[in-house]
Amino acid sequence: MSKTALITGASNGIGYELAKVHAENGDNLILVARGKNKLDELKYELEEKHNISVFTIGKDLSQSGAAQEVYDELKLKSISIDYLVNNAGFGDFGLFAECDWNKQERMIGLNVTALAHFTRLFLPDMISRRSGKILNVASTASFQPGPTMSVYFATKAFVLSFSEAVNEEVREHGITVTALCPGSTHSGFQAASSKEGSKIPERKNIATSREVAEYGYQAMMKGKAVAIHGFKNLILANSVRFAPRSMVVKFTRQMQEKKL
């Protein structure tokens, strides 16, 4: 029997590729993002190519109550979710004292509140069935503070800590929660975060969204608690535990700052 995956932020980047990976593995899809036209284009492509069912929902998940609205709509249609993929999120680049607070608030609403609310909504159903998997897209930013992207790094630290804690709580029910931690990735993230001027995008040989999506899917299916994509990212993420935090935060700022 086919499984059903709900994927947020599926209109581009890692979420877009995760939708393709799930479709290739025969899963029906619920795709959620603000850009419904893009979702519908993907829907027709995947349905025709893989003979699956795809249902799209246009929703700004940064808005209060949006996750509940999605859950209620699926309940009315008697759609059960086997795989919950909380991918939607965005960042912002700049000094916190000079930031657009409304954008920071939307970021927290999307990266933190919507992710936690979706998890809270769908977990009881999974527990009652004693099956289900959740993939929360965190970041290598989860492992240290991030000057010039302070709120973004903090939201991803929440995602990692939250995912690990809930994973421990639900394992006894046959459910796993995986925190996917990619590093720099070719996606729409840089443009959305106003980060084009930072030094990070200049790194060569960074991962593609497809590579991260494939890795994340496999990690979720294996039930890994924390999945750090790429050997160098794995080393860097773990090395910060052994360095003084004052050194880590200064190094991160040097990596993040815009060119003069």
The residue with tokens 């284009």 is: 41
Q: Are strands 132-137 and 4-8 parallel, antiparallel or unpaired?
A: unpaired
| CA 81 distance to own-chain centroid | 17
Separation between Cα atoms, residue 219 and residue 237, nearest integer Å: 17
Residue (of 1, 146, 15, 185) closest to 89 by Cα position: 15
The active-site residue, picked from 71, 83, 152, 217, is: 152
Q: In this structure, what DSSP letter does residue 10 have?
A: T
Q: Indicate the residue type of 90.
A: F
* DSSP symbols for 84-106: EEE-------S-GGGS-HHHHHH
Other CB atoms closer than 10 Å to residue 133's CB: what's the count? 21
Other CB atoms closer than 10 Å to residue 200's CB: what's the count? 17
Tokens representing 218?
A: 């496999």
| CA 91 distance to own-chain centroid | 12
Q: Is position 44 annotated as part of the catalytic site?
A: no
183: enclosing H helix or E strand: none
Distances (CA, A) of 116 to 58, 122, 195: 19, 10, 26
Active site (catalytic) residues: 152
